[in-house]
């Protein structure tokens, strides 16, 4: 919606603006009721000069305000579509149900939404009240000639008693009618701009997020291509070379220098095949691609030097790059358990919590894991962050250690 467009009156812009402004009224009334109840102690303190109510009132507004502001913000982001704003994203982080309150109350996005709610309930009535008075005034001036028959009529700027006295007001109002759609558009644009600034991610942050997502997808595609080329190209040629060397060993008499050289080359080819297979497995194991994360993690557990129990309950499969990141986390964590923890057992848990894939790796080792001790945790956290997730670590001295990762499901 562009108010400065010459064809603005011929577009859907004025109707979008009117729909946005009109729908603001029920939304504001619905938000005013709970906020009014929360702010009642503060109003009592100022109206009856009872300071004892100030502290409870502030505690209620600050403590319970986000519970009203967060759903209000969801409605407002949806209403911004009326103005042509598509995909205004929330600034909130994904949160598990049991951590929802703690996450929301520690986010800047939540308090921006509270600020928006306060503005809507304080500045909003002033703006919309002034707009309503202008509309009433213009309509009253247009209908003034019809109303003077019953006696003098007050028109805001004066009083008229005859049709001739009312005509100048009517002409002025008729000339002002084309201006009203622009006034509606400016008011809706101003309200929408404030809503976008306070309720959505900044444009820079959105672009950074999209850029990071594109990089993650590109890296994942490149890893898949390298894995496929190694599996279908280099590995197959090594298999063929190993077979040819094996045939050559059978054609050469044993005990000769040539036989020993061919046997040595044959053994090196087989060792190289093992190394290439391990390299392919480390890039992206075929089992992960074909069967999914739970089966790939169970294979990791079977290969681990420490006994590992796997608990996996995933309805469906997350995005490919999320699976790859989760697999890398488990692989790195189990490697750290085997090398540094001295643990006798470990547990891997995979589950979906709403929009999050949660990965927990626990062990009964000596604890004391820290990014400062060079156990690869910093790189692990960076890789998780690149996929839009976060890493949590609990590892007191003496153990146990729990490594948790939360990744967006899609």
How much is the pLDDT for 348?
92
Identify whether the C-beta of residue 58 lies closer than 8 Å to the C-beta of residue 42.
Answer: yes
Instruction: Name the percent of the chain in helix, strand, coil, to the closest 5.
Output: 70, 10, 20
Residue 134, token pair as written in the block: 């202008």
Q: CA–CA separation, 31 vs 34, rounded Å?
A: 6
How much is the pLDDT for 106?
78
Can you tell me which residue has the tokens 């030097």? 305
Q: Which of 357, 369, 347 is nearest to 301 (CA)?
A: 347
How much is the pLDDT for 50?
55
Domain limits of the chain? 8-199, 204-283, 286-408
Record: fold of 286-408: Heat Shock Protein 90 (3.30.565)
Q: How would you write the pLDDT of the chain (410 residues) with one tens digit per residue?
A: 567 677 877 888 888 888 999 999 999 888 888 877 766 655 555 555 555 555 555 566 666 778 888 888 888 888 888 888 776 777 776 666 666 677 777 787 888 888 898 889 888 899 899 888 888 888 888 877 776 766 677 777 777 777 777 788 788 888 888 888 888 888 998 898 888 888 876 444 445 555 555 666 666 666 667 666 666 677 777 777 778 777 777 778 777 777 778 778 878 877 777 777 666 655 666 677 777 888 888 888 888 888 999 998 888 888 877 888 888 888 888 888 888 888 888 999 998 887 888 899 998 888 877 776 655 677 788 778 877 788 888 888 887 888 888 888 87
3-state secondary structure (DSSP) of residue 143: coil
Output the CA–CA distances (angstroms, integers) from residue 329 to 144, 165, 222, 324, in the order listed: 75, 82, 19, 9
How much is the pLDDT for 205?
47
**Angle ∠(380,308,216) on CA atoms, nearest 5:** 25
H/E element holding 116?
helix 108-142
Strands 153-154 and 356-363: unpaired
Can you tell me which residue has the tokens 């190394």? 275
Q: CA–CA separation, 398 vs 341, rounded Å?
A: 10
Q: Omega into 169 within 30° of 0, i.e. cis?
A: no
Q: CA–CA separation, 161 vs 305, rounded Å?
A: 100
Can you tell me which residue has the tokens 């093992």? 274
Identify whether the C-beta of residue 384 lies closer than 8 Å to the C-beta of residue 391.
Answer: yes
Torsion of CA 274, 276, 277, 283, to 10 degrees: 150
Residue 118, token pair as written in the block: 């306060």
Can you tell me which residue has the tokens 């790189």? 379
Q: CA–CA separation, 99 vs 43, rounded Å?
A: 33
Task: List Cβ neighbours of 291 (8 Å cut-off, separation of 6 or more).
Answer: none
Identify whether the C-beta of residue 187 lies closer than 8 Å to the C-beta of residue 17.
Answer: yes
DSSP tag of 92: P
Strands 153-154 and 159-160: antiparallel
Residue 225, token pair as written in the block: 């291509």
């Amino acid at each position: 919606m562009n108010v400065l467009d010459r064809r603005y009156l011929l577009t859907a812009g004025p109707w979008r603006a009117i729909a946005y402004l009109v729908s603001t009224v029920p939304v504001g009334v619905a938000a005013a009721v709970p906020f009014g109840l929360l702010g009642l102690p503060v109003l009592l303190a100022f109206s009856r000069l009872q300071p004892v109510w100030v502290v409870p009132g502030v505690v209620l507004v600050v403590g319970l305000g986000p519970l009203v502001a967060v759903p209000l913000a969801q409605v407002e982001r949806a209403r911004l579509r009326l103005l042509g704003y598509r995909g205004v994203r929330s600034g909130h982080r994904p949160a598990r149900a049991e951590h929802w309150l703690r996450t929301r109350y520690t986010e800047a996005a939540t308090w921006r939404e509270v600020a928006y709610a306060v503005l809507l309930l304080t500045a909003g009535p002033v703006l919309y009240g002034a707009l309503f008075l202008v509309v009433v005034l213009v309509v009253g001036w247009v209908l003034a000639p019809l109303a003077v028959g019953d006696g003098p009529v007050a028109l805001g700027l004066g009083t008229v008693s005859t049709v001739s006295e009312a005509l100048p007001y009517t002409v002025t109002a008729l000339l002002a009618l084309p201006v009203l759609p622009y006034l509606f558009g400016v008011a809706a644009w101003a309200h929408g701009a404030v809503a976008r600034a306070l309720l959505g991610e900044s444009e820079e942050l959105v672009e950074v997020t999209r850029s990071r997502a594109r990089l993650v997808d590109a890296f994942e595609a490149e890893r898949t291509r390298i894995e496929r080329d190694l599996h279908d190209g280099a590995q197959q040629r090594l298999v063929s070379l190993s077979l040819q060397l094996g045939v050559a060993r059978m054609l050469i008499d044993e005990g000769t220098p040539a036989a020993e050289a061919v046997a040595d080359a044959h053994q090196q080819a087989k060792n190289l095949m093992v190394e290439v297979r391990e390299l392919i497995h480390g890039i992206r194991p075929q089992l992960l691609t074909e069967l999914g994360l739970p089966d790939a993690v169970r294979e990791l557990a079977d290969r681990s030097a420490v006994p590992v129990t796997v608990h996996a309950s995933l309805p469906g499969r997350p995005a490919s790059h999320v699976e790859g990141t989760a697999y890398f986390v488990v692989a790195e964590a189990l490697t750290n358990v085997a090398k540094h923890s001295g643990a006798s057992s470990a547990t891997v848990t995979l589950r979906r919590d709403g929009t999050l894939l949660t990965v927990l790796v626990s062990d009964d080792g000596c604890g004391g894991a820290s990014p400062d001790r060079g156990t690869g945790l910093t790189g692990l956290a960076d890789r998780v962050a690149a996929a839009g997730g976060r890493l949590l670590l609990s590892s007191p001295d003496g153990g146990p250690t729990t490594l948790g990762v939360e990744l967006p499901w899609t």
